[in-house]
Chain A
């Protein structure tokens, strides 16, 4: 193998599994250490800089970081990264003083943001300090988009949402709420220097072809429309028997909301197998905990209506078969159909994009699934001054993806407005700092805590179900947060090897608790992976390889289960190994905050 370049930023970026997996590349281990140190403000600001909504995301994030977390490969469960973020948000003090303070000198340019969800808000936050005059339009009375209209308040209290939305709006954003934008042409005619479309994927899928759909309409609801009307308190009750159709997170929110609005027998019915359900594991568990059964392999066949009123749904029975490509087909089992009684049915089977308000003759090209044709890096549409981001760009995802795309769109808009090349993306901010403090003393806590993942406490079910505004999760108390934070392996403290210093004494090999390091003759990656101290079968985890050593061998380190314990560096007599903290920050359109990081 070719030796790993110690200056290769992307190599080390990838070692920090959680940060790498985070769409916004939040410096996770850095903020976890700050939480352990009780520096909640700083931990919050690291998050705020990266993901704009630490308190919201600390409750609702899809957390792609957690399945990626190295700890989950070393023992059973990953660090509770998401819930630690909430610890920072819950325990911070007056945080506003750390944020950019307006008013900002006007740069004379105007930007329109259509839609008030996380994508638009991120663009707003990144561009406001640069002096743009920003106009944000949303059809609802407050900002937040689906974070407000969809995510139920028992998962995300309104106060948390308001607080973090306002941090952005208070940067001097001109808001136009209760304003549905019905014509892009008019927006463009307004002479904005750039327009950002962050309108999400607002159309819930229906089951219009299933018999009885029309007849039962009064008691058949589209999930996201129904949640929206619950959020704005237009709906405050539902029948006693409720069927929720669908296996995604929307279905989980619909069933749990139903339980709080009078639904006594709420059942989730999914046409496919349990293991294929799209909902996050924890959302499923939370629903089950509230006494909601989930039934699988039952596609709806008919909405049964009697005397003009919905009485239930008739379901077929199927089993899943997968072809060689893993493609699934649902095969009827031949069992008799099953009728399930219901007073109300909620259809939560997905969302689509829809841009009825964008005229098709403006030069904005739409492609497959009526999605805009965009540059994947710049988020620019075929009409140069129009940009897209969030669910509106590539279809429904989640908040953190909307934020990450908002950051990139903001950079593009800034470059565009300054007449610069949009492909000249700013480099990430990167710093490598040795953690060496004394001979064998480190500036980070290198000891490995053996605690298992701590469970977040929940309020009692009866209390939770009695009021939709009661937040179910209570968050970690600081002492538990500290312990959970100590489970983090500090993967950003990198093991950096300088081969010229190595005297091949084997001390690092001998001490490494997880047998990461091998000195051996070089070979291809495939071959090397078979000759290491321990199996190196996870191909997504890189091998760190040195140049030839005096004995004509190379040092090979399998990154996979390195604990970042620093013992290799501690036992190295020549400091050929060093533990270096690698800070990687995605550059934003502006230096939007003054991080208090000393």
Chain B
């Protein structure tokens, strides 16, 4: 098994506007299983960062524990990084962001890391509208610990052990909407034409962005009967309409074909309808988004694409009225401005 990626690249590939080749956004060679959806998401992150001319040192990648949380080793080697303990990435991200709001924060997590052990952290980081992109590589199982059903595994879905999942699934998108997240999207690891623009949009969004990316675990959850297998996805991809490139810092315009819906019959005879958002869909109206996601769920549909965006909501710094200067750059004289200032403050309370 190769542990080194050849250093050669295509000689005709051009650097982006900040002078970096796509290769400069890559990491070390992945040790994930061949065909793991997570690797495709890593590649989408690389592509997105290259496309939006992001200087690698302006980004910090953070993760928890899991195969998904290992991926920051496989992209953006020239960026900052923090691999935290299981489910605790949001706290680390919050601390880092509070200290230095000038960096772009990219959190990478799994469905276990987020919806099980990290649920408490996840909901609070949404509430606070921390300015970060939060990607869940959602494979419906604990890949790293050999494929146990996770909290996002659909009811009745069968993993490699052959046992149907007896529990109800947590829908991270529905939950994020419920908690008033300011950017909510769902995508699929095998549909880069949709995922890359979504990542670009999320990185550009001021506030908390969730992208729940269905990402098949080829080793433990890619069997017939699993709702997160490639077979299932293959059906899905037949319906895919290309998502247009979203230029950074421009109004989002996402192009979908109308009526892109399909039925997938599951093990118990139930049907899931995959639907793309329709053009008349208003992603800025939270009520319609909530309704739509509820309707979709009631109809057995999975919505992918951008679901909701509120570009006006103040992020945590806005809510806390922090200084324009990042806290980690404040000097002693900024923090202890002296007796005169203290007296004038005291005076203001008299």
Return the chain B residue nearest A558 by Cβ: B10
For residue B216, CB closer than 8 A to chain A, the reply is yes
* Min distance, Cβ A352 to any Cβ of chain B, angstroms: 42
In contact, B37 and A505 (Cβ under 8 angstroms)? yes
- Given A571-B35, A573-B33, residue A505 in contact with residue B2 (CB < 8 A): no
In contact, A506 and B192 (Cβ under 8 angstroms)? yes
* Min distance, Cβ A443 to any Cβ of chain B, angstroms: 14
In contact, B237 and A505 (Cβ under 8 angstroms)? no
In contact, A551 and B240 (Cβ under 8 angstroms)? yes
Pick the residue among B2, B29, B192, B234 that contacts A550 (CB under 8 A): B234
In contact, B6 and A513 (Cβ under 8 angstroms)? yes
Determine the chain A residues whose CB is within 8 A of the CB of B189 once the complex forms. 505-506
How long is the Cα–Cα vector from A392 to B207 in the complex, in angstroms?
80
Determine the chain B residues whose CB is within 8 A of the CB of A567 once the complex forms. 2, 5-6
Return the chain B residue nearest A550 by Cβ: B234
- Secondary structure of the A contact surface, majority rule: loop
How long is the Cα–Cα vector from A515 to B240 in the complex, in angstroms?
23
- Secondary structure of the B contact surface, majority rule: loop
How long is the Cα–Cα vector from A136 to B255 in the complex, in angstroms?
77
- Given A504-B190, A550-B238, residue A563 in contact with residue B34 (CB < 8 A): no
How long is the Cα–Cα vector from A552 to B242 in the complex, in angstroms?
13
Return the chain A residue nearest B74 by Cβ: A510
List which B3-19 residues lie within 8 A (CB) of chain A: 4-13
For residue B218, CB closer than 8 A to chain A, the reply is yes
Pick the residue among A74, A503, A566 that contacts B35 (CB under 8 A): A503
Determine the chain B residues whose CB is within 8 A of the CB of A566 once the complex forms. 2
Determine the chain A residues whose CB is within 8 A of the CB of B4 once the complex forms. 447
* Min distance, Cβ A17 to any Cβ of chain B, angstroms: 15
How long is the Cα–Cα vector from A213 to B10 in the complex, in angstroms?
56
Determine the chain B residues whose CB is within 8 A of the CB of A571 once the complex forms. 30, 34-35, 39
Return the chain A residue nearest B234 by Cβ: A550
For residue B1, CB closer than 8 A to chain A, the reply is yes
In contact, A570 and B1 (Cβ under 8 angstroms)? yes
Question: How many residues in A have their beta carbons less than 8 Å from beta carbons of B?
Answer: 39
In contact, B11 and A73 (Cβ under 8 angstroms)? yes
For residue B43, CB closer than 8 A to chain A, the reply is yes
For residue A173, CB closer than 8 A to chain B, the reply is no
Return the chain A residue nearest B230 by Cβ: A503
In contact, B240 and A505 (Cβ under 8 angstroms)? no
Determine the chain A residues whose CB is within 8 A of the CB of B2 once the complex forms. 440, 446-447, 565-567, 570
For residue B40, CB closer than 8 A to chain A, the reply is yes
Return the chain A residue nearest B240 by Cβ: A551
The residue among A515, A571, A572 with the most chain B CB atoms within 10 A of its own CB is A571
List which B168-224 residues lie within 8 A (CB) of chain A: 189-190, 192, 216, 218, 222
In contact, A513 and B190 (Cβ under 8 angstroms)? no
In contact, B237 and A504 (Cβ under 8 angstroms)? yes
List which A518-551 residues lie within 8 A (CB) of chain B: 533-535, 537, 550-551
Pick the residue among B5, B11, B222 that contacts A561 (CB under 8 A): B11
How long is the Cα–Cα vector from A446 to B6 in the complex, in angstroms?
10
Determine the chain B residues whose CB is within 8 A of the CB of A448 once the complex forms. 6-8
User: 1/0 contact trace for A305-336 toward B, CB 8 Å?
Assistant: 00000000000000000000000000000000
Determine the chain A residues whose CB is within 8 A of the CB of B227 once the complex forms. none
In contact, B43 and A534 (Cβ under 8 angstroms)? no
For residue B42, CB closer than 8 A to chain A, the reply is yes
For residue A68, CB closer than 8 A to chain B, the reply is no
How long is the Cα–Cα vector from A507 to B13 in the complex, in angstroms?
20
For residue A511, CB closer than 8 A to chain B, the reply is yes
For residue A178, CB closer than 8 A to chain B, the reply is no
* Min distance, Cβ B24 to any Cβ of chain A, angstroms: 13
Question: How many residues in B have their beta carbons less than 8 Å from beta carbons of A?
Answer: 35
Return the chain A residue nearest B237 by Cβ: A551
Determine the chain B residues whose CB is within 8 A of the CB of A515 once the complex forms. 9-10, 13
How long is the Cα–Cα vector from A573 to B218 in the complex, in angstroms?
7
How long is the Cα–Cα vector from A574 to B192 in the complex, in angstroms?
20
Determine the chain B residues whose CB is within 8 A of the CB of A534 once the complex forms. 10, 12-13
* Min distance, Cβ A433 to any Cβ of chain B, angstroms: 20
Return the chain B residue nearest A440 by Cβ: B1
In contact, B6 and A563 (Cβ under 8 angstroms)? yes
How long is the Cα–Cα vector from A78 to B178 in the complex, in angstroms?
61
In contact, A440 and B238 (Cβ under 8 angstroms)? no
Determine the chain A residues whose CB is within 8 A of the CB of B5 once the complex forms. 511, 513, 567
In contact, A510 and B12 (Cβ under 8 angstroms)? no
- Given A504-B190, A514-B10, A570-B1, residue A551 in contact with residue B234 (CB < 8 A): yes
How long is the Cα–Cα vector from A386 to B30 in the complex, in angstroms?
63
For residue A82, CB closer than 8 A to chain B, the reply is no
Determine the chain B residues whose CB is within 8 A of the CB of A573 once the complex forms. 33-36, 218, 222
Determine the chain B residues whose CB is within 8 A of the CB of A563 once the complex forms. 6, 8
- Given A566-B2, A573-B35, residue A552 in contact with residue B8 (CB < 8 A): no
Determine the chain B residues whose CB is within 8 A of the CB of A439 once the complex forms. 1
How long is the Cα–Cα vector from A446 to B1 in the complex, in angstroms?
9
User: 1/0 contact trace for A566-593 toward B, CB 8 Å?
Assistant: 1100111110000000000000000000
- Given A565-B2, A572-B34, residue A535 in contact with residue B7 (CB < 8 A): no
* Min distance, Cβ B64 to any Cβ of chain A, angstroms: 23
- Given A447-B4, A504-B234, A550-B238, residue A535 in contact with residue B39 (CB < 8 A): no
* Min distance, Cβ A572 to any Cβ of chain B, angstroms: 6
Determine the chain B residues whose CB is within 8 A of the CB of A18 once the complex forms. none
How long is the Cα–Cα vector from A123 to B33 in the complex, in angstroms?
54
User: 1/0 contact trace for B28-65 toward A, CB 8 Å?
Assistant: 01100111110110110000000000000000000000
In contact, A506 and B190 (Cβ under 8 angstroms)? yes
For residue A467, CB closer than 8 A to chain B, the reply is no
List which B250-278 residues lie within 8 A (CB) of chain A: none
In contact, A505 and B190 (Cβ under 8 angstroms)? yes
Determine the chain B residues whose CB is within 8 A of the CB of A75 once the complex forms. 8
Determine the chain B residues whose CB is within 8 A of the CB of A552 once the complex forms. 238
User: 1/0 contact trace for A72-85 toward B, CB 8 Å?
Assistant: 01110000000000
How long is the Cα–Cα vector from A509 to B39 in the complex, in angstroms?
10
* Min distance, Cβ A77 to any Cβ of chain B, angstroms: 13
For residue A170, CB closer than 8 A to chain B, the reply is no
Determine the chain A residues whose CB is within 8 A of the CB of B218 once the complex forms. 505, 573
- Given A440-B2, A565-B2, residue A507 in contact with residue B35 (CB < 8 A): yes
- Given A506-B43, A507-B39, A551-B238, residue A570 in contact with residue B34 (CB < 8 A): yes
Q: Beyond the given A506-B40, A551-B238, could you list 8 further A-B residue pairs with CB under 8 A, ordered by the A residue number?
A: A73-B11, A75-B8, A505-B189, A507-B34, A514-B10, A552-B238, A563-B8, A570-B1
**Contact sample, A vs B, 25 pairs, CB 8 Å cutoff:** A441-B1, A446-B2, A450-B6, A503-B234, A504-B190, A505-B35, A505-B190, A505-B230, A507-B36, A509-B43, A510-B43, A511-B5, A511-B29, A513-B9, A515-B10, A516-B10, A535-B13, A551-B234, A551-B237, A563-B8, A565-B2, A570-B1, A570-B2, A570-B34, A574-B35
